Chains A and B, each alone.
Chain A
Amino acid sequence: MKQSNDKNDMQTSDGNGLITLKNITKRFGSNVVLDNVSLTIEKGKTTVVIGPSGCGKTVLIKHLIVLLRPNSGEVYFKGRRIDNLSENELNKIRTHYGFLFQGGALFDSLSVTENILFPMRQHSEITDFRQVEELVKTKLAMVGLDGFQNYYPANLSGGQRKRVALARAIALNPEVILYDEPTTGLDPIRADVINELILKLQRELDETTVVVTHDMTSAYKIADRIIMLHDGKIVADGDADNIRNHPHPVVQQFINGQVGEDDLAVLRMSGTVSQAQFLPRDFEQ
């Protein structure tokens, strides 16, 4: 058994990308979310994955760090197969990643400082507290929140929470940062702050970035490469100009934010608002 695992560990991808997904299929019950998806994430580039809600973007990004394991297919990091590793072995690999979750996923019971220190405490012995303070200050300054060290997540706005979560994600100086819908739920100005932050980190840290979003303004601004997922398959892959001019009708419909004929037909069938049944007046009394 051990021998077999060791053999699998030695399997390598034949591509030269930092992360490679090979023929990934993921099902939840009978629902196929990813259908034979293959993808290579190139080192030092910003790859943006777009697609309508529920198309499998988050599932895809979670496969890159093996928070979800595929039903079939393989995941490689730096040429090493990682989807068949044990959780203990994966934990070492995951220290190369930073992950910004959709809602931030900050620990409610810990302060901003403790949240940022969490990954450091888990992977190193902290002895010099002055140095640690300085480190937290630096990370918070990078996301423009120096001075918020003693705040708790409940006292922060949505945008601030995402920025603190980003400071935590870069705490271990990862090689790859994964962003799951970083601008969702933010007003356009706050969303643009996050976009600028992603660009700034990309410039200063020269990291590989993968962003999952359905915000096209954000995608056009930050992407070196855009991939579109639809019904569990990749339907478009190229730079911003390629995507703008892509011939696939689903891509054009999505990037222009147009409702489809199927959706319109459903709306027409559901009748007019005045035909809808309301509660009788005496019920309100």
Chain B
Amino acid sequence: MLTTVWQRLDQGARLALPFVTALIFTLISAITLPLPWFGEVAPPLALIAVYYWAIHRPDLFWPSMAFGIGFLNDVVHFLPLGLSALIFVAAHHLVLTQRRFFVGHAFFMLWWGFALTMLIVMLATWGLQSAIRWQLVPFLPVVVQALLAIIIFPLPAWLLIRLQRLTLSHI
């Protein structure tokens, strides 16, 4: 009986892993680093998690979760509520429709896919922010943020690959 309960808990924890990692990535991206002006161009780790899980475990990472993570990202980063939610849900959908090009291929394809997604997200976010504020917001920090996110992508992606292999390989 007890074993069953533990097994269920274990199973539940494993199934929740994609959402939990995306949640942790969102919180980590808000930490103050001792690097001057890093906060301005800190890469959107939450998007990396949304992208990764939409490709690898869409059965465990639903649009509602992309919405939840986006909502949290808006709250933490003081963005207009609904902005990241909109972007993340759209990105999740875009990645889902294109995942056959990225899944099961070499890591480079995964990276390339993220670079494309990041560029689209960058332009959409900048456009929406400018529209909401009714003025053109500076473009350079957005570009630097996107480039930084693309450059560091292998690191969080490697972490997620390891986690997936460790916990979700048989589920």
The answer to whether A and B interact is no
Give B residues with C-beta under 8 Å from A: none
